[in-house]
């Protein structure tokens, strides 16, 4: 039988660094999937994940075992991704005249027949990424967690450390900001 996470953590705290490796192997896929939502380039993704594991190791003594290790780790991961977004905040308003041909085609199809525009198209995904890049770090985080990962307000509150009211306020503002970006996109393209 495999040792439990708690046993491995106890071993790491007792000085057995090698016991940390199975934890990294077990949880890295989830952490990579999360980091890829916020960092675009693969080298940035790897650096973020590296930072998450480094912090997890340094703060391991603070894990009291009241909740599963995975929850503790995901909280740390979300906060590190948020820090990454803040550090790499792009203070530029990208022009939607830079849209690729595929993105333009997808938008044209949407305007012609909104219900028929495919949701599984690469162009739609690229367009979402472009819009998310325009958002502020907290707006992007809350839209990703609430609208894309479909987590509850309570869960987001636990992950981010924000109060449930603050999560709702930020979600409201983020949706409004996103609508504003889409309106700008429509103006740039069709007016």
Partner 1 sequence: MNHKLLQEKLLAAARAHPPSDRVPYAFEKRVLACLPTQTAMDPLTLWVTALWRAALPCVAIMVLFFVWTRTSPGPGESAPAPVANLGSDLETTLLASVSFENELSW
List of residues contacting partner 1 (CB under 8 A): 12-13, 17-18, 20-21, 24-25, 28-30, 32-33, 36-37, 46, 49-50, 53-54, 57-62, 110-111, 114, 117, 119-121, 124-125, 127-128, 131, 143, 147-148, 150, 175, 178-179, 182-183, 186, 190
As measured in angstroms, the least distance from the Cβ of 168 to partner 1 is 18
Q: How far is CA 21 from CA 4, 27, 120, 157, 166, in A?
A: 13, 10, 37, 30, 37
Distance (Å, whole) CA 177 – CA 172: 9
As measured in angstroms, the least distance from the Cβ of 93 to partner 1 is 18
By CB neighbour count within 10 A (0-12 exposed, 13-18 middle, 19+ buried), where does 126 fall?
middle
Nearest residue (CB) to partner 1, 66 versus 119? 119
As measured in angstroms, the least distance from the Cβ of 114 to partner 1 is 5
**DSSP, res 4:** P
């Amino acid at each position: 039988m495999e040792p439990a996470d708690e046993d491995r953590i106890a071993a790491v705290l007792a000085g057995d660094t090698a016991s940390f490796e199975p934890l990294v192997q077990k949880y890295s896929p989830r952490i990579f999937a999360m980091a890829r939502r916020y960092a675009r380039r693969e080298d940035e993704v790897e650096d973020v994940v590296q930072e998450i594991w480094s912090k997890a190791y340094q703060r391991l003594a603070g894990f009291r075992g009241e909740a599963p290790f995975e929850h503790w780790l995901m909280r740390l991961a979300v906060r590190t991704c948020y820090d990454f977004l803040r550090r790499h905040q792009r203070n530029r308003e990208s022009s939607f005249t830079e849209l690729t041909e595929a993105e333009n085609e997808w938008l044209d199809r949407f305007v012609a027949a909104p219900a028929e525009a495919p949701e599984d198209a690469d162009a739609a995904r690229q367009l979402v990424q472009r819009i998310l890049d325009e958002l502020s770090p907290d707006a992007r985080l809350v839209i990703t967690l609430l609208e894309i990962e479909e987590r509850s307000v309570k869960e987001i509150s636990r992950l981010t450390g924000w109060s449930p009211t603050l999560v709702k306020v930020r979600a409201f503002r983020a949706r409004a900001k996103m609508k504003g970006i889409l309106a700008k996109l429509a103006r740039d393209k069709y007016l």
